[in-house]
């Protein structure tokens, strides 16, 4: 049976049930991929009694080849490059530096906006539960996992309400643990598995992070 979730909050509550072994541990942190992953992650963090933060990933699209991601950058100054794409592009090094500079500025702007002056969390030796509202191609989540590997996290858990079977299985090979609640065979888009899939604003993200920070002081 294909699950349809009423909304992201309910999806987060259902996801948390599969993460019960992490309840009350002081080495766990929940990271939501903005924007849609944050309301899901908020519910997971609430139920686990864990702190919540964001993990921002920006794809590095090449000028003139935007659909080709040459890599990605992520929170914490991490950059992951797709070497095959880089080799195939003319003047790749120069183009990548320029795109990296632009996307780094955008990433930093978002981090400041979302965190409201709170420092980025220390991830070394922690169990990191990475949450999104669903997977499609999984490219952003794969980049996030790769980037987290460089942060020396003790364990990386990917947790999502829905995703196509092949994408979920691919992530099983890259993360230490992967939870996909629903893996529909004829997957088209994440939004089709939610009754309410309304747009999440930057303000919504800020508010949820602020609430979580207050409760976790």
Annotate 125-184 with DSSP letters as a single string. T-EEEEE-S--SS-HHHHHHHHHHHTTT-SEEEEEEEE--HHHHHHHHHHSSEEEEEE--
Q: Domains for the chain: give ranges and CATH numbers.
A: 1-217 (3.40.50.2020)
pLDDT tens, position by position, 93-136: 888 899 899 999 999 999 889 988 888 899 999 999 999 999 98
Residue 23 three-state SS: coil
**CA angle, 94 as apex, 150 and 56 as ends, to 5°?**
35
How far apart are the C-alpha atoms of 155 and 10, rounded to whole Å?
Answer: 25
The pTM of the whole model exceeds 0.95: no
* pLDDT at position 91 over 80: no
How many residues are present in the chain? Answer: 217
The helix (run of H) or strand (run of E) holding residue 73 is strand 65-74
Query: Confidence class of residue 4 from pLDDT cuts 50, 70 and 90?
Result: confident
Percent of the chain beyond pLDDT 90? 63
Query: Confidence class of residue 80 from pLDDT cuts 50, 70 and 90?
Result: confident
């Amino acid at each position: 049976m294909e699950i349809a979730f009423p909304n992201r909050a309910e999806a987060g509550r259902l996801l948390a049930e599969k993460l019960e072994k992490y309840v009350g541990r002081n080495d766990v942190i929940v990271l939501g991929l903005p924007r849609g992953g944050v309301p899901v992650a908020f519910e997971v963090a609430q139920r686990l009694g864990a702190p919540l933060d964001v993990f921002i990933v920006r794809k590095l699209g090449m000028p003139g080849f935007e659909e080709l991601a040459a890599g990605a950058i992520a929170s914490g100054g991490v950059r992951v490059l797709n070497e095959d794409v880089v080799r195939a592009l003319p003047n790749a090094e120069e183009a990548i530096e320029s795109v990296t500079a632009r996307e780094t500025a955008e990433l930093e702007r978002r981090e400041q906006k979302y965190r409201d002056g709170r420092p980025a969390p220390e991830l070394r030796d922690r169990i990191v539960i990475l949450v999104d509202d669903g997977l499609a191609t999984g490219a952003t989540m794969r980049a996030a996992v790769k980037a987290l590997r460089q942060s020396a996290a003790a364990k990386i858990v990917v947790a999502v309400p829905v995703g196509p079977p092949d994408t979920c299985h691919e992530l099983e090979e890259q993360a230490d643990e992967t939870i996909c609640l629903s893996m529909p065979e004829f997957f088209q888009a994440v939004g089709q598995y939610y009754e309410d899939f309304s747009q999440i604003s930057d303000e919504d993200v800020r508010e949820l992070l602020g609430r979580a920070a207050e409760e976790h002081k």
